Amino acid sequence: MLLSDQVVTSLGSGAVADTTSETLTGVEDMAGFDGIRYIVSLGDVDAAAVLTFQPKENTASSTSSPTPTAVSLAAATVGGTVTGVVTTGALVITESNGNLDNKTIIIDILKSPMSKRYQFLSITAATESYEVVSIITEKYNTRSVPVSQASVVVTHAKRTG
């Protein structure tokens, strides 16, 4: 049920302009939640860019210390109009003829492959650069309702019945 059992957060540093550097979302505390969904809206992605989307986890609320570990997407089902490949546990997509320009990538992870409390997403590019317009995260299937929305959500509406 949207908004009564999930928390929506805008992550990262906002728009990321033309980079080949790693982009990291903020760290999400998954205590009390059974799933997390990353919604990444891309801007211009240069021809032949190879983008890697790697969910990561940590025992502390940090992207660096202690060293985070990867959450494997090895059993993931990949679908959509652009073919992604799960390689060494990460989702890898290659830009071809503008197929990633101004498109959205969604990565949805249930609790079972996660072994640590804190989660975040790493995006890297090989060869060419990319732009990120926005990254939104949804933590869902809470074990305690109602939940409070993050401060970046300024209003929401919900129709019942």
Reported pTM: 0.83
Nearest to 38 by CA among 119, 114, 115, 98: 119
152: pLDDT strictly greater than 60 = no
Q: Both tokens of residue 15?
A: 């728009």
Q: Among 9-13, 51-55, 58-62, 132-136, which is the least confidently predicted range?
A: 9-13
Average pLDDT (63-67) is 92
Domains and CATH numbers, the chain: 9-141 (2.60.120.260)
| CB-based contact 54:109 (threshold 8 Å) | no
| CB-based contact 116:69 (threshold 8 Å) | yes
Q: Both tokens of residue 63?
A: 């992207």
C-alpha span between 157 and 105 (Å, rounded): 25
Nearest to 42 by CA among 15, 8, 9, 12: 15
Task: State the Cα torsion 82-99-139-114 to the nearest 10°.
Answer: 50
Q: Both tokens of residue 117?
A: 């409390």
| CB-based contact 70:89 (threshold 8 Å) | yes
Query: 68-123: per-residue pLDDT in tens?
Result: 999 988 877 787 778 788 988 899 999 988 889 999 999 999 877 889 999 999 99
* CA atoms within 13 A of residue 140's CA, in its CB half-sphere: 13
C-alpha span between 46 and 128 (Å, rounded): 6
